[in-house]
Structure 1
Amino acid sequence: MSTNYSIWKNQLEMRLKGVRSRKNQTLIDEIQELNRKGNLIHHENVELYKKEAFRTFLQVYGTREIIGGNRNSLLTSSLSFGEDVHVPVHLQLHQPQQQKYETPARATKLG
């Protein structure tokens, strides 16, 4: 009787190992698929971010910046998108700086 029990126990353990192995492989496959989908979504988000940033740039500055200057340098300097697109951008408005004009030495003083 004990031999049958040992055989049965060994068979059960082998089957359990097979089930656990298949379960682990299934989970690994699902995780890899989710990572692949996550990477695709991230890539799409980066592309949408670039398009939106460029559209916003055009709304703010218009096409004169592109027509008047070199479009490639505009895209690489003003709209540079490096590998890390998660860096927060902080934009601030500043008062226009007053231009200093020198008065000519022979200018007439009023008042």
Structure 2
Amino acid sequence: MSRGGGGDGAARRREERARREAEERARQDAERARRDMMRQEQANQQRLARIQQQNEARARAMEQTMAANVSNMQRTPTTIKRKSRKKRGEGQRGMDKLRIAMSEQGTSTNLG
């Protein structure tokens, strides 16, 4: 006389199926998250390796530059030459010397 038992079985089957589907979705989500995490970690490792290579290349270039600078400093003396300034009236005196030399041609000067 109890007919309600059949409906309970259908509800139980629906709940069981819903639970299994939820577990499967959770498992798929976890697997997807794990794959994403692995992919991200691999990308991070590649980025880190690339950055380390760049740093090593920069360090090598810096060492070469420093070695070149040291050898250059050892090669040339580090004296600072001062620019010689003209004294006032120097040009006029030079012209006078030339005029005197021109007038004394034939004498023992090396100008003429």
Match of 1:38 among 22, 33, 48: 48
What value does the CA root-mean-square deviation take over the aligned residues?
1.9
- Give CA-to-partner distance per residue, 1:3-47, whole Å, 9 cap, x none: 111111001000110011111101110110011011011001101
- Between Structure 1 and Structure 2, how many residues are aligned? 65
Match for residue 11 of structure 1? 21
TM-score (norm 2): 0.54
Choose 1 or 2 for highest CA Rg.
2
CA distance in 2, matches of 1:63, 1:42: 31
Unaligned runs of 5+ in 1: 66-111
TM-score (norm 1): 0.54
CA distance in 1, matches of 2:72, 2:52: 29
- Greater relative CO (CA pairs within 8 A, separation 6+): 1
Quick check: 1:58 aligned with 2:68?
A: yes
CA distance in 2, matches of 1:48, 1:7: 61
Letter in 1 for 2:16: S
Unaligned runs of 5+ in 2: 1-10, 76-112
Identity %: 11
